Amino acid sequence: MTARLPSLLLLLALLAGWEAWCRLGAVPALILPPPSDVLATLWSEMATGRLWPHLAVTATEMALGLCIGAIVGLCAGILLAEFPALSRLLRPYVLASQLVPKLALGPLFIIWFGFGLTPTIVITALICFFPLMENTVTGLAEVDPARRELFRMLGAGRLQTLLRLKLPAALPVILAGLRVAVVLALVGAVVGEFVGGRSGLGASIIAAQSVMDSSLIFALFIVITALGMLLYEAVRVLERRVLHRFPKG
Amino acid sequence: MSTDPSPAGFVVIDGARFSYGGAWPAIVDGIDWTIPRGELHCLLGRSGCGKTTLLKLAAGLILPEEGTIRIGGETLRGPGERIGFVFQAPTLLGWLSALDNVLLPISLKRRVTARDRAAALDLLALVGLAELAARRPFELSGGQQSRVAVARALIGEPDLLLLDEPFAALDALTREELQDDLLRLCGMRGTTALFVTHDIAEAVYLADRVAVMAAGRVHHAQPVPLPRPRHRDMRYSPAFAATCRDLRDAMDVGTGIAPSQRPAA
């Protein structure tokens, strides 16, 4: 707590400065609403219950996109690491799929999947896929050659070596990839909603923009940031538990 | 123990030659060596003389380009099942306890039984780690990790133990303790062993017979005239010192020959 105190004080100072600037400098509320307005808007959104369905939609898209992207990325990473020939064949295509701006795929996905949650989930999964795959490939490739030789000496098969040596050894690197993926998942979900969402926090921002409600936009920023921090911390907790408990599990 | 079908020796290395990708000069260049059952032999040599490669050939981790390696009369065609290998580094798995690391060779093959656990605990007790069985490798000292590695190599009751400078990174006193542990464990089961080292005193203390390698060849070999069981006091005996000096001279001769056989660095 004492370690966090300075950053908390900094936040309060910044908010106070912002509030003072808005009031004394007579900045139009449309350009920059004072924090007190933003908080009031946020409170009313929560109290009226308008916020919750949107939060639920974005959280669902994010969670599903993250899960699908992470699992596919992990599996793809394992395949590419285990079969170098496959890696040589598919690497350029995988890279290309990541270099296409995902946002640009949005309109196409709407044609394919309609206006529901699906296009956003697909975009989120595409974004989350890459860090998991990259970190899995890196983690598996970095396994100590002496330990591989040990497993060869002990007569371990390919699958055994993967499950008993390579994956456990690569786990810290893979989980670091998951942490990156969580942050990207939020970007994926919100930006995906910009393009085709009818509901969700990203869609709400577009809706607020159309009525020039900048204090609502700021309120939504706060919600999105809080959601991201919550999930990031959740993954950190998972990481600590897995890395600590994996040997016995 | 099965009866030994080859009277010549339990481990027979016959004209083994190996080079990475056919490069010249060969890393292991036509070596003949025989270890009778139950004996401990040391391969002594400077870094890069090919002794680790010869050990991997004996393990079946690599196969010779020419010549054969026979263990108990059978030609090796892959990593030998009845061979225990102790690597230069302990190579323990960080996410397993010391006990589970010792049990790894078994748990890779089948379910671990209560009897296996008891055997592993016995082995850990024999290397003085009975109380530390639940510890993770990072909670153990370097010497303790090496002990776990030796116990892991012995859990399958191998006929042949191959050791690649396993104690090189340890301090002198810990090294001597581990040498005594190793002699005791090999003596108990009559395990045949081939031990690679660059430490002359270690070779003399452990071995029944020492081979000196240079540039991929064995160019000197001699028996160690010390009785079994070995004891710490023997390290200071005249016979020990004389054997060390002989081997030292042999290693110098090795470098004297080497320049003519190797391209200049």
- Rg (alpha carbons) of chain B, rounded to whole number: 18
Option in A146, A152, A168 nearest B79 (CB): A152
Q: What is the reported pLDDT for B2?
A: 45
Does the pTM of the predicted model rise above 0.90?
A: no
Six-digit token string for B99: 């006990």
Q: What is the reported pLDDT for B1?
A: 42
Q: What is the reported pLDDT for A177?
A: 94
Q: What is the reported pLDDT for A40?
A: 93
Distances (CA, A) of A241 to A177, A244, A245: 16, 5, 6
Interface check A91 vs B, CB under 8 A: no
Check whether the bond before B229 is cis (ω within 30° of 0). yes
Q: Could you read off the pLDDT of B18-62 as tens digits, one per residue?
A: 988 767 778 888 899 999 999 999 999 888 888 999 999 999 999
Residue among B59, B117, B47 at smallest CA distance from B83: B59
| CA–CA distance, A42 with A19 (Å, rounded to integer) | 16
| Contact criterion met (CB < 8 Å) for B105 and A164 | no
Closest chain A C-alpha to B95 CA, distance in angstroms = 5
| CA–CA distance, A184 with A127 (Å, rounded to integer) | 7
Asked whether residue A4 is domain-assigned, the answer is: no
Option in B81, B91, B100 nearest A150 (CB): B91
Choose which CATH entry (3.40.50.2300, 3.40.50.2000, 2.40.160.20, 3.40.50.300) describes domain B82-261. Answer: 3.40.50.300
Q: Could you read off the pLDDT of A141-187 as tens digits, one per residue?
A: 999 999 999 999 999 999 999 999 999 999 999 999 999 999 999 98
Q: What is the reported pLDDT for B56?
A: 93
Determine how many CB atoms are found less than 10 A away from the CB of residue A209: 13
DSSP lists the bridge partners of residue B154 as none
Option in A160, A246, A247 nearest B108 (CB): A160
Asked whether residue A21 is domain-assigned, the answer is: no
Give this complex's ipTM: 0.86
pLDDT > 90? residue B189 = no
Closest B-chain CA to A156 = B108
Option in A156, A169, A246 nearest B108 (CB): A156
Q: What is the reported pLDDT for A148?
A: 93
* Chain B residue numbers touching A150 (CB-CB < 8 A): 85, 87, 91
| CA–CA distance, B3 with B114 (Å, rounded to integer) | 30
**Count of domains forming chain A:** 1
Closest chain A C-alpha to B162 CA, distance in angstroms = 11
* Chain A residue numbers touching B88 (CB-CB < 8 A): 146
Asked whether residue A202 is domain-assigned, the answer is: yes
Distances (CA, A) of B211 to A110, A149, B168, B215, B243: 75, 25, 18, 13, 12
B38 in Cβ contact with B79 (< 8 Å): no
Asked whether residue A25 is domain-assigned, the answer is: no
Interface check A229 vs B, CB under 8 A: no
- Walk along chain A (249 residues) and give the pLDDT tens digit of each residue: 678 899 899 999 999 998 888 888 878 878 888 899 899 999 999 999 889 999 999 999 999 999 999 999 999 999 999 998 999 998 888 888 888 887 788 888 888 988 888 899 999 999 999 999 999 999 999 999 999 999 999 999 999 999 999 999 999 999 999 999 999 999 889 988 888 778 899 999 999 989 988 899 999 999 999 999 999 999 999 888 888 755 433
Q: Could you read off the pLDDT of A111-132 as tens digits, one per residue?
A: 898 888 889 999 999 999 999 9
Residue among B178, B189, B186, B180 at smallest CA distance from B233: B180
CATH of the domain at A134: 1.10.3720.10
Interface check A146 vs B, CB under 8 A: yes
The residue range of the domain holding A73 is 35-245
Asked whether residue A11 is domain-assigned, the answer is: no
> Where do the structural domains in chain B lie, given as residue ranges?
82-261
Asked whether residue A111 is domain-assigned, the answer is: yes
